[in-house]
A and B are shown apart, each in its own frame.
Chain A
């Protein structure tokens, strides 16, 4: 299972679209994209993850990295995550640091 990520910034909102499996072998790709959008000081980070099938610990690390890199004022939205992803976020409590939404903007 591979991993793909694309990013864009629209009206100050950083939008990343992820698919496949986010694990230790692919986390660096996401880190690169976060670093890239961070240079433009986005007002929010939106992760479109409906096609993301698996997130390992390294994926969680990227959420933490994003929060620390962008600052606590920048809200992180996770759009349409699959059940396994939500479960992982719930178990580890990271869910309290992000917003799970069906659409962005809601």
Chain B
């Protein structure tokens, strides 16, 4: 009977599907690509055990088969039933979905079964591969969109916009130095969903980002160069295997909060027709709760759905060797079927303690579209990390010179101990930009969003960007403004990469990628999203700086503690593990008007005292004028050396190991306006 889904058995296939309220079910079989099924086999009543339909069918062509289910039962939407035997339904446990095999290939809109369940072979040759298990505090996460990464003509990739394209760019990722890629959704979705033409420009707008899942077990075929041949599973597994060979972990951005079936007006693709009341949170009137902002909400704490989510993640961990998962709008996963937040959400607990997922990193986007904001208090069970939205907000404000932020910055760079007092530094994923919102370049080039290209009259995208255009909205020839923007991007990269916690960088920020002020590019299959690799040359200094700071973080364990600082000096070295400073040593100015903040890490307490490192001093100045710093005196025999100084106007502002210039006057170190320095004491 189990497992659910279609499982190959000797000479046949075992089909198993759950439905609690249907009255009957038929298995519908298609030859791949044919309009009409070649067989429709009702499940005999004796083949229904409990709420599971199950039977084995022999002599099927595994490779050419497409299958679905036809469920009969009541259509009574007020009571949550939406059975419709005219529909052929995708298997929730299908391992591949046909119908969108090639990205944006025009579909047959009259297809009686547009999203077809398929079988996959589980014989991939992983050789010695296994998940890397890099300690989470040592990760540097690079969030990326599969298609955007290599689709631009400048990428030089042979297989543009695909898993194979990413594989071609592994040398770039190695050069940059990141050791984890987080792939925006790769579960099968329909890029044509809600597609439309821009009312003014006529441009085709699509479901580009893919935060709308059709099937949780299937990789997106349109992201595979070989998808048209049905080989997307092999292509994705090969990518993961090769990334692992280069010591790069793979995280998936998973969307379990809703599906592509929308609300009562949306299509019936799978879950609605199989067991609507089980899979979705419904209002007492039978409508869909909409905590996701997209029409429906998956009923994740129903035991059947909970098991599906668990089965799904185990499958990706076991069969695809995935290293970690980032859960989109994860606060929803803690809601009861009636929508209320649970004190002890069963799904989150189950995921935390699941034996198969024991070595997978679990990261929550700890809020949802229904107003539940759980940054700092997401039910963690000692396992979950969170996207630290407060880190993002505070750093953005500090970087643009808002007053009263020094205290918040001090918290942020320590791994937010007030936010995560018992969970350690690794509870927080530190980021300033991600796919939602401005790119890092745009953060310092635009005061307001410019979303006209989305065709929603500017009503989409957040308005709380905390951005600053540095004196001119958008592109400018003003050299001073452009220099300031470059400096601010470097300041931001500096802070992310010297903060305790887990840093995350968004694709292209290391080379100054722009979306021209658009802070919600979910619908654009064009250069607004595609990474323009020519920027590597245009912004070579920026890229060099990003590489330097990533290498710096990897070289210095003092930046990668797992536990919070103790502010003590048990080894009696003369300094606590961390000390705070202003323009004068040990005199940090937390007043509302202060915009200077510095801190020093004592290398004797690197990795919470388990190893040793140099002393590290970081200072930031967000005044519009330069300041003169007096540096802390180092223990006998040590001197300060400049590893990075974003305030150096032109030329080299970062220095490789062994080439760092000596600081000759620690009484008077000039730090420029809107600048940061990173010093090494050795």
Pair from one complex = yes
Q: Write the residues of chain A forming the contact surface with B, with a CB cutoff of 8 angstroms.
A: 23-25, 56-58, 60-61, 64-65, 67-68, 72, 88, 90-94, 96-97
Is B123 in contact with A93, judged by CB distance below 8 angstroms?
no
State which of A57, A58, A97 has its C-beta within 8 Å of the C-beta of B125: A97
Contact with A along B222-235 (1 / 0, CB 8 A): 00111001110011
Q: Of B62, B63, B123, B229, which contacts A64 at CB under 8 A? A: B123
- Partner of B64 from the list A24, A64, A96 (CB cut-off 8 Å) is A24
The answer to whether A93 and B64 touch (CB under 8 A), given A64-B124, A67-B125, is no
Contacts known (A61-B121, A68-B125); A93 close to B241, Cβ less than 8 A: yes
Contact indicator A90/B164 (Cβ below 8 Å): yes
| Distance A25 CA – B229 CA, assembled complex (angstroms) | 15
Q: 1/0 per residue B42-80: CB within 8 Å of A?
A: 000000000000000000011110000000000000000
B164 close to A91 (CB less than 8 A)? yes
Q: Which of A24, A72, A92 contacts B238 (CB 8 A)?
A: A92
Say if the beta carbon of B351 comes within 8 Å of chain A: no
Enumerate chain B residues within 8 angstroms of A64, measured Cβ to Cβ. Answer: 123-125
Q: Which residues of B contact A93 (CB under 8 A)?
A: 164, 167, 234-235, 237-239, 241-242
A70–B657 CA distance with the chains assembled, in angstroms: 48
Q: How far is the CB of B58 from chain A (nearest CB, A)?
A: 15
In the complex, the answer to whether B123 meets A57 with C-beta atoms within 8 Å is no
Q: Please state if A57 and B234 are interface contacts (CB–CB under 8 Å).
A: yes
In the complex, whether B127 has a CB less than 8 A from a CB of chain A is yes
With an 8 A cutoff between CB atoms, is B159 at the interface?
yes
Residues 214-254 of B contacting A (Cβ, < 8 Å): 224-226, 229-231, 234-235, 237-239, 241-242
Chain A residue with the shortest CB-CB distance to B162: A91
Residues in B with CB closer than 8 Å to A90 are 158-159, 164
A69 to B158, CA, bound (A): 32
Q: Are A61 and B61 touching (Cβ within 8 A)?
A: no
Docked complex Cα distance between A60 and B238 (Å): 13
Given contacts A57-B63, A58-B63, contact A92 B125 (CB under 8 A): no
Q: List 15 A-B contacts (CB under 8 A).
A: A24-B63, A24-B64, A25-B61, A56-B230, A57-B234, A60-B231, A60-B234, A65-B123, A72-B127, A90-B159, A92-B164, A92-B231, A92-B238, A93-B167, A97-B125
Query: B61, A57: Cβ atoms under 8 Å?
Result: no
Residue of A nearest to B124 (CB): A64
Q: What's the nearest-Cβ distance from chain B to residue A34, in Å?
A: 13
For residues 424 through 449 of chain B, which have their beta carbon under 8 Å from a beta carbon of chain A? none
B125→A88 contact, CB < 8 A: no
Cα–Cα, bound, A57→B62 (Å):
11
Contact A91 B225 (CB under 8 A): yes
Asked whether, in the complex, the Cβ of A88 is within 8 Å of the Cβ of B63, the reply is no
Chain A residues lying within 8 Å of B230, measured Cβ to Cβ, are: 56-57
5 tightest A-B contacts by CB?
Answer: A93-B238, A24-B63, A91-B226, A92-B234, A91-B225
Within 8 A of A (CB), among B139-193: 158-159, 162, 164, 167
- Flag if B64 contacts A92 (CB, 8 Å): no
Q: A91 vs B224: C-alpha distance in the bound complex, in angstroms?
A: 8
A24 surroundings in chain B (CB, below 8 A): 61-64
Q: Given A24-B63, A56-B63, are A88 and B229 also a contact pair (CB < 8 Å)?
A: yes
Distance to closest chain A CB from B220 (angstroms): 15
Q: Report the bound CA distance from A72 to B239 in whole Å.
A: 20
Residues B238 and A94 in contact, CB atoms below 8 Å apart: yes
The answer for the CA separation of A98 and B124 in the assembled complex, in Å, is 14
Residues of B within 8 A of A60 (CB): 231, 234
Q: A57–B121 contact, CB under 8 A?
A: yes
What 16 additional pairs, Cβ within 8 angstroms, besides A93-B237, A97-B125? A23-B63, A24-B64, A25-B61, A56-B230, A57-B63, A57-B121, A57-B230, A57-B231, A60-B234, A61-B121, A61-B123, A68-B125, A91-B231, A92-B238, A93-B239, A96-B242
Task: Looking at the assembled complex, report how far the CB atom of B650 sits from the nearest CB atom of chain A, in whole angstroms.
Answer: 43
- Could you say which residues of chain B place their CB within 8 Å of the CB of A67? 125
Contact of A91 among B61, B127, B235 (CB under 8 A): B235
Query: Chain B 538-560, CB within 8 Å of chain A: the 1/0 string?
Result: 00000000000000000000000
In the docked arrangement, what's the CA distance between A58 and B234, Å?
12
Name the interface residues of B110-129: CB closer than 8 Å to any CB of A. Answer: 121, 123-125, 127
A65 to B124, CA, bound (A): 9
B121 / chain A contacts, CB cutoff of 8 Å? 57, 61
- The residue on A at minimum CB distance from B65 is A24
B124 CB contacts on chain A under 8 angstroms: 64
* Max chain B C-beta neighbours (<10 A), residue from A23, A65, A68, A96: A96
Residues of A within 8 A of B229 (CB): 56-57, 88
Which residues from chain A contact B234 at a C-beta distance below 8 Å?
57, 60, 92-94
Nearest Cβ on chain A to B91's Cβ, whole angstroms: 19
Q: In angstroms, how far is the closest chain B Cβ from the Cβ of A16? A: 19
1/0 contact trace for B583-603 toward A, CB 8 Å?
000000000000000000000
Q: How far is the CA of A61 from the CA of B8 in the complex (A)?
A: 15
B13 to chain A, nearest CB (A): 13
A59 to chain B, nearest CB (A): 10
- Chain B residues, Cβ within 8 Å of A94: 234, 238
For A61, the chain B residues whose CB sits under 8 A away are 121, 123
